[in-house]
Amino acid sequence: MNSSDIGLIGLAVMGQNLALNIADHGYKTSVFNRTFQKTRDFLSDHSHTQLVGFEKLEEFIESLSQPRKIIVMVQAGFGTDAVIDSLIPLVEEGDVIIDGGNAKWTDTIRREKNLAEKQIHFIGSGVSGGEEGARLGPSLMPGGSKEAWNLIKDIWTSISAKVDSSSGKPLSGGKPGLPVQGGVPCSAYIGPNGAGHYVKMVHNGIEYGDMQMICEAYHILSSIGEMDSYEIGQVFDKWNEDILDSFLIEITADILKQSDPSTGKPFVEIVLDTAGQKGTGKWTSVNALDMGVAAPTVAEAVFSRCLSAIKEERLSAAEILTGPKLSKFDGDKLVFIDSVRDALYCSKICSYAQGFQLMREAQVEYDWNLNFGEIAEIWRGGCIIRAAFLQKITEAFNRDSNLSNLLTDDYFNECITNYQTNWRKIISLATINGIPIPTFSSALSYYDGYRTACLPQNLLQAQRDYFGAHTYERVDQPRGQFFHLDWLNDERPQQRIK
């Protein structure tokens, strides 16, 4: 009976589509759901010779060839732990359990350690691309032992999205039952234990930044530029043919040109301006704070969603709080549009620089050896942030694998040198007109802070020493020597602390 190549538990939308994707690639796939009716309905709706369903977990386990490979696609957190606990008595040493949910990387580290003690392999794999990606080819970010990775490598590389080996652009044309053939897979071994889920978290944090920056560009074009939604959609179509070529720009153009079926008005104008979130952007921001890494653009993207959620308060505040009168742009419209594009691109560079710096710090903290060029490569297809831009990041790390910050790479440095005048003008224009641009402005502040040789934190550290004796370093002494000024003594003598 042990004939299935792999098993999958959890037949919500992502689980169903991933199972179908695996089956399309010729792998016999056993499926199981807590409620058997869902399994029955899934098999009824999707007749596939490579799919087989089971009502009992024991029979599901028995159906798998050894070493068993079991994907868990259930709600992150308690749900995942419950499924793993139910599997432990049924699986054997050498089997591998794969968590394909949006798990927190610290949970993955804990689970991998606990299962390793029982000689059971565990992979925590980021799966990006949503419903469509899971069905036709996602970006996959697996973390765990190399031995575990080797057990699933063939399947993971088969079912992942593919990109052209020369251009790095996603290969299109895949359909249900007819997957894309050839190309470079958007899946690679990330690193030990929680590395895969950590990289997926950072991916999601960058995604928050991308989405908010696009919204700010839209806001500037619609308010100061007095452009209607359809016209802005056409602008985004043009941008998608150039340096901003990406999935998010593509779908934004489509959204902006869509009419509301009920009223005929532009669809985007009838959508309430309150944005939800599932928490991965917050995880990224909190982790950046924990790591001591500056990632203000991702954090501002999260805070923007928080601010959008208090709609009623904002409506009241709009009646009370004053601001500048909006001045419509009356210059060359094409120059204005190009300037907004430049501002968006520069902000995007800074946001990604922050994300990759966070991963660089994490690899030291968790003793990983992350291949940043390869991470950018597997994000080029399948995932939400897929973009031509990622090819430039891969090339940057190919030039220098120890690159400290993307901003110092020749290509990105040249881009910001060429575009920053327009970037600064657009931010100034938006600020003068009272248009909120938290990610644009935080990205510019990050850039200016990173390139500033002497920041005013000398005064801040002196303040800390004054009220809390927190010590300070001196510019005329080697780093690592700390001093304290005795502020309570009238003569204020200085002491070397260490």
By annotation, the residues acting in catalysis are 200, 207
Can you tell me whether residue 111 is helix, strand or coil? helix
- Among 240, 236, 230, 238, smallest CA distance to 217 is for 236
CA–CA separation, 336 vs 235, rounded Å? 12
- How far is CA 400 from its chain centroid? 23
Can you tell me whether residue 128 is helix, strand or coil? strand
Q: For 434, what's the count of Cα atoms within 13 Å in the CB-facing half-sphere? A: 9
CA–CA separation, 87 vs 114, rounded Å? 13
User: What's 382's DSSP letter?
Assistant: S
Tokens (6 digits) for 278: 């599932």
Q: 331 CB contacts (<8 Å, ≥6 apart)?
A: none
DSSP notation for 300-343: HHHHHHHHHH-HHHHHHHHHH---PPP----S-HHHHHHHHHHH
CA–CA separation, 121 vs 130, rounded Å? 26
Helix count and strand count (H, E) for the chain: 20, 11
Bridge partners of 329?
Answer: none
What is the Rg, in whole angstroms, of the alpha carbon atoms belonging to the chain? 26
Name the region of 51 (left: φ>0; alpha: ψ -120 to 50; beta: rest).
Answer: beta
Q: Residue 175: what are its φ and ψ, rounded to 5°?
A: -135, 160
173-178's contacts with Cβ under 8 Å and 24+ in sequence apart are: 174/136, 174/137, 175/136, 176/20, 176/24, 176/135, 176/136, 177/24, 178/24
- Sequence length of the chain is 498
Question: Helices 333-365 and 410-432 sit at what angle, rounded to 10 degrees?
Answer: 120
Q: Between the CA of residue 433 and those of 66, 172, 225, what are the distances in Å? A: 65, 42, 12
Whether the CB-CB separation of 197 and 103 falls below 8 Å is answered with yes
Q: Between the CA of residue 298 and those of 126, 130, 200, 209, 305, what are the distances in Å? A: 19, 20, 14, 5, 11
CA–CA separation, 106 vs 401, rounded Å? 26
